[in-house]
Each structure stands twice: as C-alpha cells, then as structure tokens.
Chains A and B, each alone.
Chain A
C-alpha cells in the first residue's frame, strides 16, 4: 500500500488534488482512499490531505502518520510545518519549487535522493493562467510513484474536469497540459 500526504494552504486545492488523484488511481484499477484533515478551514491556513492506494481493498480507517510520499504544494510551508514528520525511511518528498533537489534536501535535512522538484506554479501559470499548483503536482506524483499509468490518469482527470467545467473547455486543456508537463519536468537534481 502506498500512503501519500499532501501539504498545502487553504484554497490551494490540496483536498481536491487528493480526491482527483484517488479517482485517477481507481481508474487504473487500484483501491483508494482520499481524506482531508478537517480543522481550521481558512484561506491560507496550512492544510493536509491524504491518499492510500492499494492493490487490495483498504480497511484502515485510522490517521495516516507514516507516508511514503509527501507532496508540498507551497514551498513556504517547509518553514512552518513539519512536512517530513513520519516520512518513511526511503520515503520521497515532491516539492513545488524552482530550487534544486539538493537545496531542498538540505533545508529539509533529508537525503537528496529522496527529494523531487518541479516548478508547478510556473507550469500552472503557463498552462492554466493561474497559480493553482495542484493539478501539475498530480502529474509529478504519478511520475515519482512510477507504478501508475499516466494515460489512465489523464483520461480520468479529463472526464472529471469535463463535468465540472462544461462551459470552459480551455480550463480542461490547460489542466491536462499541466499534468503532462509536470510529469516530464519533475526531477531529482
């Protein structure tokens, strides 16, 4: 079972990202869970959401304390939130940043081999026209996990967005493009 923790700020779409990711993983035949941490739901407040992905049915309904993947939507959270708390020994951290993996690894105090970076905010600006880093980070996560099918994820996300943005086709295209770009651009250096 893969356990994932998303870190974001209220309004950045950490919850939505976890839900989208879960649905996409289901579309590729996995059992899934997606749940946010409910607390002070205010714009800008640090928030977390979680995913469990498994090949067999998931019965666990406790909190998720030892993620194998941590996704950080907002790099400024690294200073105020213990983002690596409970991270598995060989766990991986994916950060939306323009800095190198080595720089981030030093800041977080973990091995550089555990850190993956992608400039999701820039990708979102280029493709969607707004700094909404959650969909590009989906693409980066799919790449880093490595066992999920990108096309399956794209297809499901497209289907989901089509329901939500029936009247804004450009939003759908932009989001899909952002996933593809982040998938290709996420790096370990």
Chain B
C-alpha cells in the first residue's frame, strides 16, 4: 500500500477537479457563487452536489455569468463571509473588471482556476493564457503541478488570502490535471478545518455596530495611496505565504516553497517552468543527470507575488536557462514568465552578480502536448549554448507547425 505523509491522511485516486472541490468542502466557506465552464465545471458541479446533499453548510449562489459570480463573491466577502469560487478561461476573462475590484477592496476571496486557452479560435484545453493575463490584477497566484499540489494549495489558500487581505487564485492545468485521475493524499476534514481556522475580518459590512462606506471614489489625492497599499501588501506577501507553507509542512508533512528547486544544487543548465509540464520535464532532468549532464529545473509555484529576488540569486549560479511559457504575451518580445525572469535577473546585473544566458520557449498553447523529446531538444540547445554555441532566436515556439 502507498504510505501517507500524514498519519491520518488517506490515499485516494481522484481528478484535479475532484480534489479541489473536496478541499472546498473541507474548508466549508460561507458562500460560493459560481458559474460552470469547461474544464472547471466539475468543481462547481461537485461542490453544489455537496451543498445539495447537506455535506457542507455553504450558501451556494447559482448565477447567470462569471461577471455575476465574481460580483456576488465580492459582495459576500465584503459582508463578512468566507467566499470561494472557481472558473476558467473565458469565464475568468468575463470576470476581468471585477478581479481588480476584489483586489482593490482587499477582499480575501479564493478562486480555483483551471487553466485553459483563450478564444479565438475556441479551444477548451490547457494553457495558462487566462491567468497570465490576470497577473497584474492584484491577486495572489499559486500554480500547481499536479492534483496533490492543487489540493494542498487550496488547503493553504484561505489563510494566505485572509492574512494578507488579498484575493487568491489557485490554478491547475486544464484537462491535464483537472481531468486526470491521480494518487492524492486527502487530509481529514477536521484537520483541514482546524488548519484553515475561522475567517475573522477586521471590518465587514454586516457589522451593524461599526458601519462604514466601502468602495468610495478616490481621485488624484487618494487613489495612489490605496494602490500603494496594494503594492505594499504584495511586497509583504512572500513571508506570509512561506509561513503558511511552513505550518502546512509542520502539520501535514508536505513541503512547499515559492518555487521548487529540482536538481539545482550543482546545475549548469536549467528550465524555469510552471504547472503540469514540470513533472514531464523532471523525468528528462533525471535522464540527463544519469548521463552526467548537470541539468536542473525550477518550478514556479507562487507567480504573484513574483519571487524575483530569490529567483535571481538561484539563477545566478547557472550558465544557461530556458524559460518555458505556456502562454504568449503577444508582445513580440517574449512571454510573461520570460519577461519577469529576465527583469529579475537584471537586478543581478545591477549588483554585479553573474548572469546566465536566457532563452524563452512558448509551448503547449491550446493543450498542445509537450513530451520528453521536446524537453530533450530544449536541453540539447542549452548544452550547445553552454559550450559556446550561438544563442539563436531568444524567443522560440516549440512543437508548432511553423
């Protein structure tokens, strides 16, 4: 039998969507307002079944669109309710203006986002264009490699959000994780409940003894101060995220950081990657290591706030880096993760620290597969660059018929 890391944990075979809904049931938020969209539909469907079966006392609000879902969540959270929702792709896009409002009002909502490509052309499969587009909305963004991470990140989510008063999205790759049945260790209900604690907002609208105005207009004289508060909260988020991860490790035995370092101790060439493809790439890293190649991998877990300082320090030790982006920014100059990684590295340049050579790969758009051969191809190029070969195009698109 497969052993659990937590003595009271239970090993089950479940899909990403099932375990995300499970974590939501265990946290038992006061309100969930949601609208179904592939591939996040199951989260909403399973959770509403939990409500219908009386397994969770949540008020479930079935709304007519994602814009309404986020609006209802904002209202509920402002009223003082612990609030969660889930969406994907076009659904997240429809929430756009409300995302900024949730962040601006500093409402600690939690949203499960199943990463899916954005239309057009219409496509239901996994890439990270949706949440990458929302990266500047003022939300904490935590990405998951597999179902276990999706579950564990959900369990940690409310505490992070509520401590920072920042809305938080937990993501996994559409279909690849959301619909893939894997081995997941589920924690006991009461232990998750205890870990999540109670939502005790300092101020809430239904507190009739201390009424207040929320969301009033700010002009040139105050808007900037409020936005600075948001920037400051993001700046202070890293220690809080680490503190929650540390407590999760102490309580349940699974370790989480801002990013995972895989074979990085003496690595010379490495990938920086987000999400499910990291797991595939790890197999290639293992293979290369067995052949004496000093390959490594950094898997970003926390993308917002971006762990720039830590990452730059770790990347300084490398010779060549490939940043793997499962989204494009259509800037003509590299994709979102690449621009953040290279910006972070520039602080090394300012500090006179060594700089690795960096290339960008856009991969897997619309769920296009990326397999072992593709990662071998990437590492082979990094090795050539390391040996003094030409860098070639800085931004490459891999496994696409050009």
Which A residues fall within an 8 A CB radius of B? 18-19, 22-23, 26, 29, 31-36, 38, 57-63, 65
Known: A31-B183, A38-B125. A61 touches B11 (CB 8 A): no
Chain B interface size band reads: 20 to 34
In the complex, A5→B283 CA distance in Å? 21
Instruction: Kindly list chain B residues whose C-beta atoms are within 8 Å of the C-beta of A65.
Output: 371
In the complex, A23→B280 CA distance in Å? 22
**A34, B180: Cβ atoms closer than 8 Å:** yes
Minimal Cβ-Cβ distance residue in A for B173 = A61
- With beta carbons under 8 angstroms apart, the residue of A22, A31, A61 that contacts B176 is A61
Instruction: Check: B206 CB closer than 8 A to any chain A CB.
Output: no
- With beta carbons under 8 angstroms apart, the residue of A22, A60, A61 that contacts B181 is A22
**B2, A31: Cβ atoms closer than 8 Å:** yes
Minimal Cβ-Cβ distance residue in A for B1 = A29
**B181, A33: Cβ atoms closer than 8 Å:** yes
In the complex, A161→B144 CA distance in Å? 31
**B181, A62: Cβ atoms closer than 8 Å:** no
Instruction: Check: B277 CB closer than 8 A to any chain A CB.
Output: yes
15 A-B interface contacts by CB (under 8 A):
A19-B181, A26-B13, A29-B1, A35-B175, A35-B181, A59-B282, A60-B280, A60-B283, A60-B372, A61-B176, A61-B177, A61-B180, A62-B280, A62-B372, A63-B369
**A62, B182: Cβ atoms closer than 8 Å:** no
In the complex, A22→B13 CA distance in Å? 7
Q: Shortest distance in angstroms between B12's beta carbon and chain A's nearest beta carbon?
A: 8
**B371, A62: Cβ atoms closer than 8 Å:** yes
Instruction: Kindly list chain A residues whose C-beta atoms are within 8 Å of the C-beta of B372.
Output: 60, 62
Which B residues fall within an 8 A CB radius of A? 1-2, 11-13, 124-125, 145-146, 173, 175-177, 179-183, 276-277, 279-280, 282-283, 369-372
Q: Shortest distance in angstroms between B40's beta carbon and chain A's nearest beta carbon?
A: 14
Q: Shortest distance in angstroms between B64's beta carbon and chain A's nearest beta carbon?
A: 25
In the complex, A33→B184 CA distance in Å? 11
Instruction: Kindly list chain B residues whose C-beta atoms are within 8 Å of the C-beta of A19.
Output: 13, 181
**A38, B279: Cβ atoms closer than 8 Å:** no
In the complex, A32→B181 CA distance in Å? 8
**B277, A61: Cβ atoms closer than 8 Å:** yes
In the complex, A14→B16 CA distance in Å? 20
Minimal Cβ-Cβ distance residue in A for B2 = A29
**A23, B182: Cβ atoms closer than 8 Å:** no
- With beta carbons under 8 angstroms apart, the residue of A18, A29, A33, A63 that contacts B182 is A33
Instruction: Kindly list chain A residues whose C-beta atoms are within 8 Å of the C-beta of B125.
Output: 38
Instruction: Kindly list chain B residues whose C-beta atoms are within 8 Å of the C-beta of A59.
Output: 145-146, 279-280, 282-283
Instruction: Kindly list chain B residues whose C-beta atoms are within 8 Å of the C-beta of A31.
Output: 2, 183
**A23, B279: Cβ atoms closer than 8 Å:** no
Q: Shortest distance in angstroms between B106's beta carbon and chain A's nearest beta carbon?
A: 35
In the complex, A23→B14 CA distance in Å? 9
- Top 8 A-B pairs, shortest CB-CB distance: A59-B279, A62-B371, A61-B276, A34-B181, A35-B180, A63-B369, A23-B13, A62-B280
Minimal Cβ-Cβ distance residue in A for B177 = A61
Minimal Cβ-Cβ distance residue in B for A160 = B13
**B280, A57: Cβ atoms closer than 8 Å:** no
Q: Shortest distance in angstroms between A152's beta carbon and chain B's nearest beta carbon?
A: 10
Give the one of B124, B179, B180 with max A CB within 10 A.
Answer: B180
Q: Shortest distance in angstroms between B164's beta carbon and chain A's nearest beta carbon?
A: 30
Minimal Cβ-Cβ distance residue in A for B148 = A57
Q: Shortest distance in angstroms between B262's beta carbon and chain A's nearest beta carbon?
A: 10
**A63, B371: Cβ atoms closer than 8 Å:** yes
Instruction: Kindly list chain B residues whose C-beta atoms are within 8 Å of the C-beta of A57.
Output: 183
Give the one of A31, A35, A59, A61 with max B CB within 10 A.
Answer: A61
**B182, A32: Cβ atoms closer than 8 Å:** yes
Minimal Cβ-Cβ distance residue in B for A55 = B2
Beyond A18-B181, A59-B146, 18 extra complex contacts between A and B, CB < 8 Å: A19-B181, A22-B13, A22-B181, A23-B181, A26-B2, A29-B2, A33-B180, A33-B181, A33-B182, A58-B182, A59-B279, A59-B280, A61-B145, A61-B180, A61-B277, A61-B279, A62-B369, A63-B371
In the complex, A168→B279 CA distance in Å? 41
